Structure 1
Amino acid sequence: MPETPDVHYSFLGPAGTFTEAALAQVAAAQGLPWRAVNNVGEAFADVVSGRSVAAMIAIENSVDGGVSATQDALASVPNLRIIGEYLVPVNFVLVARPGTSLEDVKIVNAHPVAYAQCRSWLEATLPRHGHIPSSSNVAAAAALFEPGPADAAVAPPGIEKHHDLVVLARNIGDNPNAVTRFVLVGRTTVIPEPTGADKTSVIVELPEDRAGALLEMLEQFATRGVNLSLIQSRPIGDSLGRYRFVIDADGHILDERVADALLGLRRFSPKVIFLGSYPRADKQANVFTDRYDDGVFIEARDWLRGLVSGEPTA
């Protein structure tokens, strides 16, 4: 009898990243092999090829907004689904090789998102510093041991336990309440049951560049009482003025109001990518007024069906 292949989960590595901390929240991943990857493309390639059952990817930060590399990859790699979301509080330290002082720092390694979250502190403390982008927060610190001009790195707290580094400053993030939102992405088409505290994610292309097109797209949600927790534009890339929109809607595809909004989107847009309905990480119940309750939509359809079939009206 053939052995069942190992089930792997992928995450943006190396070990010690915030992405790994997000994956540690996934109960189904505990005790299974985790595969550290270098970028979003490699993570999604793992999922598409079957090397991993799912990949944990950062998609949004409370300070810097949406992660464009993730959003663009979700738009270009078909048949991916978000199967869960996870929140990780984020803060940073500035680390350097032993013997380096804060006054010695002229060049800083940092992941672009981390750099954006620490920019005010860095500009105030090191007004003439330069920045070298890194592929991850841990890679920024590890690169200090390689030939290069960097004197220090923005890294996660505790990095000094894994590398021979000294901490020059702690809590350097500009916002102490910063949180990064991660999503677990797989290929399953099974939609989890509604919990009452859900999100539905889609990517929508505008049909044409004309006045009112964006408003028309948003009205598909507004007229059905569906709140949007994220809407971000990304260029499609084939010509100027052509955009797609990454949208998170409060609710589940099995909620009547959300399903009706998705039908409206499908009629309106030449391309709608459904990314999934999944439980909210914050577990906050979706709020909507009574006139958008499931029963209202069902009653309206029954009323129309009765008119079409000639049933007597009250």
Structure 2
Amino acid sequence: MSAAPEPRRRVYSYLGPAGTFTEAALQQVPAAKGQIWRPVHNAGEAFADVIEGRSDAAMIAIENSIEGGVSTTQDALATLPGLRIVGEYLVPVNFVLVAAPGTTMADVKTIAAHPVAYAQCHRWLGEHLPSHQHVPAASNVASAIGVLDGTLPAQAAIAPPGIILHHDLQVLASDIGDNTNAVTRFVLVTRTTQPTPRTGADKTSIIAELPNDRPGALLALLEQFSARGINLSLIESRPIGDALGRYRFVIDADGHIDDARMAEALMGLRRFSPRVVFLGSYPRADQLIVQYHDEFSDHVFSEAREWLDALVRGDAVE
């Protein structure tokens, strides 16, 4: 009797190489343990992997607590068909100063760093290495590798803490970021599938366009949610690109598409907007239960529907 075939291992794309914040987000996905992790060079490559079937899912940065939404991710989700968000994950953004073994702080005259990471460490650098010079690097991980292999003319690098798990580097200083509360939000993206089951602590992401440029158009869009007691945790505008003054809005709403109030809001939005992209309903990373007033409970929406149906049937209704 032949042995049963080994189950196929799933493939997850992430912004590599190993040691990045994106890898740290992927480490939070239980289903990704023991599967194939595919490092890519940018978000576009990760999305293409999913769409073209090379990967089952991709981990993508979508929002930073300091810099706001990641525009390349938002624009890709708005324009690429067949994608669905199935989860979100939060990664604290902190940095370490690393160098080749044997290096001391006194040896550091030049620091390699990605420009964004460098900007987030200005205060610490001014206090501890005020006379340093900066060499830009292509990524947070590339800065450390460049110092280690000598391809960058620097004695130390600003990098993610996870870098030391993959390379023989010495940590000269930890927690060097200026904002200790900085967090990046990542989303796990798959091909279009059914929304994940409702948990009570959920988020729904959509992208919607305004019908035309007129007074009150944005207010009318937002009222689809406020009239149904739905809180919005994110709303950002992105240019559509076909003309000046034309925008689409990236929206995160508290709740799940299976909630009656959310379903009604989405239907109202569909009637109002010329284009709505449903990105997914998925568990919140913070696992906070969505709170709402009693008048917006599913029971109230169901009772209103039953009342209307009774009127249509001609029943006597008090």
Same-fold call, TM > 0.5?
yes
Per-residue deviation, residues 93-114 of structure 1 (Å, max 9, x unmatched): 13345657578545642163x3
Residues 133 and 73 (structure 1 numbering): CA distance in 2 closer, same or farther, change over 3 Å? farther
Residues 4 and 170 (structure 1 numbering): CA distance in 2 closer, same or farther, change over 3 Å? closer
Corresponding residue of 1:200: 204
Corresponding residue of 1:73: 76
Deviation at 1:48, TM superposition (A): 0.7
Per-residue deviation, residues 145-192 of structure 1 (Å, max 9, x unmatched): 454555643211253454454444321112212222111100141222
Residues 133 and 148 (structure 1 numbering): CA distance in 2 closer, same or farther, change over 3 Å? closer
Tell me, in whole angstroms, the C-alpha distance in 2 between the residues paired with 1:102 and 1:67: 37
3-state SS of paired residue (1:86): strand
3-state SS of paired residue (2:223): helix
Out of 133, 151, 154, the residue aligned to residue 158 of structure 2 is 154
Tell me, in whole angstroms, the C-alpha distance in 1 between the residues paired with 2:205 and 2:122: 30
TM-score, scaled to structure 2:
0.88
Maintained 8 Å contact 1:132/1:150:
no
Corresponding residue of 1:255: 259
Out of 217, 221, 224, the residue aligned to residue 228 of structure 2 is 224
Out of 99, 116, 121, the residue aligned to residue 118 of structure 1 is 121
Maintained 8 Å contact 2:109/2:132:
no
| 1:273 equivalenced with 2:292 (yes/no) | no
Deviation at 1:45, TM superposition (A): 0.8
3-state SS of paired residue (2:263): helix
Tell me, in whole angstroms, the C-alpha distance in 2 between the residues paired with 1:39 and 1:267: 36
Corresponding residue of 1:33: 36
Per-residue deviation, residues 100-156 of structure 1 (Å, max 9, x unmatched): 7578545642163x3453344446655885563524x21232233454555643211
The size of the alignment, in residue pairs, is 312
Maintained 8 Å contact 2:198/2:258:
yes
Residues 285 and 51 (structure 1 numbering): CA distance in 2 closer, same or farther, change over 3 Å? same
| 1:310 equivalenced with 2:314 (yes/no) | yes
Maintained 8 Å contact 1:105/1:126:
no
Maintained 8 Å contact 1:110/1:140:
yes
Query: Identity over the aligned pairs, expressed in percent?
Result: 64
TM-score, scaled to structure 1:
0.89
3-state SS of paired residue (2:120): helix
Give the AA of the match of 1:199: K
Out of 237, 244, 253, the residue aligned to residue 241 of structure 2 is 237
Residues 8 and 160 (structure 1 numbering): CA distance in 2 closer, same or farther, change over 3 Å? closer
Corresponding residue of 1:138: 141
Tell me, in whole angstroms, the C-alpha distance in 2 between the residues paired with 1:74 and 1:105: 42
Corresponding residue of 1:62: 65
Residues 171 and 291 (structure 1 numbering): CA distance in 2 closer, same or farther, change over 3 Å? same
| 1:46 equivalenced with 2:75 (yes/no) | no
Residues 189 and 160 (structure 1 numbering): CA distance in 2 closer, same or farther, change over 3 Å? closer
Tell me, in whole angstroms, the C-alpha distance in 1 between the residues paired with 2:259 and 2:165: 47
3-state SS of paired residue (1:231): strand
Residues 75 and 269 (structure 1 numbering): CA distance in 2 closer, same or farther, change over 3 Å? same
Corresponding residue of 2:289: 285
Deviation at 1:261, TM superposition (A): 0.8
Tell me, in whole angstroms, the C-alpha distance in 2 between the residues paired with 1:309 and 1:224: 26
| 1:23 equivalenced with 2:18 (yes/no) | no
3-state SS of paired residue (1:277): strand
Tell me, in whole angstroms, the C-alpha distance in 1 between the residues paired with 2:269 and 2:143: 42
